[in-house]
Amino acid sequence: MRKRPLIALAAGVAAAGAATFAYSSLIERNLFTLRRFDVPVLEPDAEPLRILHLSDLHMMPDQRRKQDWVASLIGTDPDLVVVTGDNMSDPGAVPGVLRALDPFLSVPGAFVFGSNDYRGPVWGNPLRYLLPGEREYVQGVDLPFEDLRSAFVDAGWADLNNARTVVKAGGRSIELVGVDDPHVDRDDYPSVSGAVSSGADLHIGVTHTPAARVLDAMAADGFALLLAGHTHGGQVRVPLYGALTTNCDLPLSMARGVHRWPGSDAWLHVSAGLGTHPTAPIRFACRPEASVLTLIPR
């Protein structure tokens, strides 16, 4: 007689698990959302400036719904577009990425790459992200990142992979610095480091992975706003607790959203991104997102 309640309980747990997986893989990962933040980094009396921050598209060729949704964000009327990497997950994804971003290529923009712009996904146990200690990063098939770079640069976007430049956007002079992806040790901030220019109206640092070594250095040089992706906001979040992993040394409490970077005057925005790694195509309590950052006076 005692076996029946246990069997019923096990069946209930299995059903709940199956329902959660179905929701996470079929519904929530397609519930694209736009988040808006005000970030106080401008000089007093300055006019607001809008930045559209896009990250972690992890585009597959057939993801037309995601492409259409991203393209529709041109309606937010950004002054500057910043893309923080991991744009594709398949060798045939470049046309899909460009279809999504085409409306923005006439807007001032800048980009860095993530590891999944260079190499494709490798199937593995997604629970490995929750294990302590360092993990060997296994890379897959080569991706056509140079085709993507050429399309962005030809449109006039600034390539910030270990680079520094000044762009004009929203009637302002904006100094930008960026690094290639720290997650695979492609970053070389010392080659572009140095105090911010007094001649620019705004100073922004850009990286795919929000590695502390990079963010600390950018903040120390005086960059007021730091932009990153990579974390997917945790991708699976526990209600009332938050992210279980950031897949880097960023604190769990900063897995997404706007935060003051510790020990500095800089603000950090971490995008939870718009895609998922194909080996773990789920999101739970962490909808895919793009963000509009409205920069306002301090």
Residues 158, 176 contacting (CB under 8 angstroms): yes
Q: Which of 25-34, 213-222, 240-249 is predicted with the least confidence, judged by mean pLDDT?
A: 25-34
Query: Residue 6 — pLDDT band, cuts 50, 70, 90?
Result: very low
CA 250 → CA 183, 247, 266, distances in Å? 12, 8, 15
Query: Residue 67 — pLDDT band, cuts 50, 70, 90?
Result: very high
**pLDDT of amino acid 1:** 43
Mean pLDDT of 35-63: 97
**pLDDT of amino acid 199:** 95
Strands (E), 28-93: 33-42, 49-54, 80-84
Residues 275, 56 contacting (CB under 8 angstroms): yes
Does 38 or 29 have the greater pLDDT score?
38
Would you say residue 91 has pLDDT above 80?
Answer: yes
β partners of residue 118: none
Phi–psi pair at 242, nearest 5 degrees: 115, -150
Would you say residue 24 has pLDDT above 90?
Answer: no
**pLDDT of amino acid 8:** 42
Mean model confidence pLDDT for the chain = 90
Mean pLDDT of 49-59: 98
Per-domain boundaries in the chain = 31-297
Q: How far apart are CA 219 and CA 297, in angstroms?
A: 18
Would you say residue 13 has pLDDT above 70?
Answer: no
**pLDDT of amino acid 139:** 72
Who contacts 278 (Cβ-Cβ below 8 Å, separation ≥6)?
A: 58, 60, 89, 90, 121
**pLDDT of amino acid 3:** 52
Give the pairing of strands 202-206 and 172-178.
parallel
Picking from 206, 203, 156, the residue whose alpha carbon sits closest to that of residue 181 is: 206
Tokens of residue 137, six digits? 């990063």
Tokens of residue 122, six digits? 């490798």
**pLDDT of amino acid 136:** 59
Residues 280, 126 contacting (CB under 8 angstroms): yes
Length of the chain in terms of residues written: 298
Query: Residue 140 — pLDDT band, cuts 50, 70, 90?
Result: confident
pLDDT, tens digit, 9 for 90 and up, residues 106-125: 999 999 999 999 998 876 65
Q: How much helix, strand and coil, in percent to the nearest 5, is found in the chain?
A: 30, 25, 45
Mean pLDDT of 21-26: 56
Is residue 209 within a helix (H) or strand (E), and if so which, with residue range? none
CATH class of 31-297: alpha beta
pLDDT > 90 in the chain, percent: 82
Query: Residue 280 — pLDDT band, cuts 50, 70, 90?
Result: confident
